[in-house]
Structures are given as C-alpha cells and as structure tokens.
Amino acid sequence: MNINDAIEDFISYCIFEKGLSDKTINSYRNDLNIYKEYLSSKGINNVITIKPNNIKDFLKIRSEEKTTTLAHNLTVIKNFHLYLYKQNITKENISEYISRPKVRKSIPKVLSIEDVDKLLDIKLDTPLDYRNKAMLELMYATGLRISELISLKTNDIDLLEGTVIVMGKGSKERVIPVGDYAIDYLNRYLKVRYKLLKEQTDYLFINNHGKAISRQGFFKILKKLLKEKGLNEDASPHTLRHSFATHLINRGADLRSVQEMLGHSDITTTKIYTEVSDELVRKEYNEYHPRSKEG
C-alpha cells in the first residue's frame, strides 16, 4: 500500500473508530506528512519497504527539535505502524523496539506565598472586583486548571460542605476541598453576581456581557493584576496551579493527596513539585546558612 493511502486509512480509523478530536487529528496528520516527505526523499513510497532504520534516521534528522516534539512525532509514528500491522497491511510492527526519547520535565515556575498574598489583595468596589477575587482565591485554593475553572457551574460549588466538583481531563470527576477563605469570597461574589447577568446562565464566573468568562478573558485579568502589583508578568493561570501544589508540599502535604486534588493520573507528574520544594530548600540554605559557602 502506498504511504498516502495508508495515512488516509489510519486517519479515518482515528476519526471514526477512536473518536479523536479535530485538534489531535490535525496534529497526527501534520506529523505523518512530515514523516512521509522524509520517506519520499529517500525513494520510499510504499509502507512495506519502510525499515526500522528509516524511523531512527528520521528522528536523528529532527534531533534539533524539542524533546517533547520528537516524543510526539514518535508516538504518532508508532501508532501508525501498529495500526498497519494489526490491519495485516505489514507483516511486522517495525516501530515496536524503537525507544522514545526521554522527556525531561522542566521545573514549574511558582509564586512565593508573599507574591500570592499581593496578587490576591484586590480592592472590592465593583461586581467585577468580587468576581476576580473569587476566581483567583478559588484557583489558588484548589489548583484548578484554567479550563476547569471557566467551565464551573453554580451547582458545582457546595458552599456548606466547602467542596467543588470538577470534571477534569478524560472526563474524570473529582471533588476538591475548598478553604474557608475562598468560600467566603465565593459567597460575597454570588451575592453580586446577578448584576453581571444579561440572561440566565449556570456558569459560575461570567464576564461583563453576561457570558461565561473565557480563557483569554481570565488571562487578561491576571496580566493586568500582575502588572498593577509589580509582580512577574510571565506568570500564567497555570502558575497559580503550580503554586498551590508547591505550597502544600512545602508545608508537609501528602503527595498522594496533592495528586488527587490536581487530578493527575500518574503520581510521577505530581513528583515534579517535590523538586521545586528541594530547589527552594537548597536556595534558602545557600542564602541563610552561615557556613554554606567557603570564605
């Protein structure tokens, strides 16, 4: 089978059998087209003539790309060749024994507790101020992803129990405790929320047009506050999530509990925050211990 037809077969399988999103499909198609162009430059136009070394050479040529990009390229290629093998289009899965590049996760940037306090020190004059205060307090109190925060409905918050129900990645539901401080400001916001309504909506956080606040809208609010308070303007919504996790671990929280609250399926993802803590400990030691340096 020629490579073009094989790619189209695989893409159709991903759409109709796997039900992958448009974004994922476009990403797969893009990676496979780059792979196809490389193979074509080597005179390879049929899938049965592709060898393991062709894949290895392709990855070498792209070695200047970020490790995460290479890892994604190889994942797509592996899925493609596994599909060809399972469909009996090829006699073997030639990608089976090719190792994925190790992805080194960068240590997340976090705000100090003092900087978080500055950020959350919002003067409450208008309904939008109450909304901004409630949003940021809730995000820092729970470590929600921005996509989770803006998707919240009013009935997802239990003000009496002090919990929030979140639908996370992979449609996994989790219940996260919310501290008294955030609950207090959510209560205050809900008392003035009606002033922002133009029509009935269940979304918890709404903009000045009465619609659910967007990711871009939240980002603009955060950037404006960071600038006003002289804080690092490179901080993002995810920085608050990182800060939530790091501050919990610094104060002795159990890693499994933090994993549960963040909605991580794999605890190794959560362990990155222990590295942040270790780095902060080393920094504090070097700065304040009288015998940390010679001379």
Q: Which of 36, 174, 238, 271 is catalytic?
A: 238
CA 246 to chain CA centroid, nearest Å = 16
Catalytic residue among 100, 211, 264, 271: 264
**Which one of the listed residues 83, 140, 189, 273 is annotated catalytic?**
273
- In the set 81, 241, 242, 247, the catalytic residue is 241
Let me know if 62 is a catalytic residue.
no
List the structure tokens of 65: 């790309």
Q: Is there a catalytic annotation at residue 194? A: no
Look at residues 236, 247, 238 and name the one whose alpha carbon lies nearest to residue 273.
247
Does the annotation mark 241 as catalytic?
yes
Cα dihedral 204, 208, 210, 215, rounded to 10, equals -50
Q: Are 159 and 141 in contact (CB under 8 A)?
A: no
* Exposure of 287 in the CB half-sphere (CA atoms within 13 A): 6
Sequence-ordered strand ranges (E) for the chain:
157-158, 163-167, 173-177
Q: Which helix (H) or strand (E) holds 42?
A: none
81 is catalytic: no
Displacement of CA 143 from its chain's centroid (Å): 11
Structure tokens at 245: 């996790």
Among 51, 56, 169, 220, the one annotated catalytic: 169
Residue 174 annotated among the catalytic residues of the structure: no
Q: Of 81, 145, 193, 242, which residue is the catalytic one?
A: 145
DSSP per-residue letters across 67-84: HHHHHHHHHHHHHHHHHH
Report the DSSP beta bridge partners of residue 176.
164
Is residue 169 among the annotated active site residues? yes
Q: Quick check: 51 and 94 in contact, CB under 8 A? A: yes
Catalytic residue numbers, as ranges:
145, 169, 238, 241, 264, 273
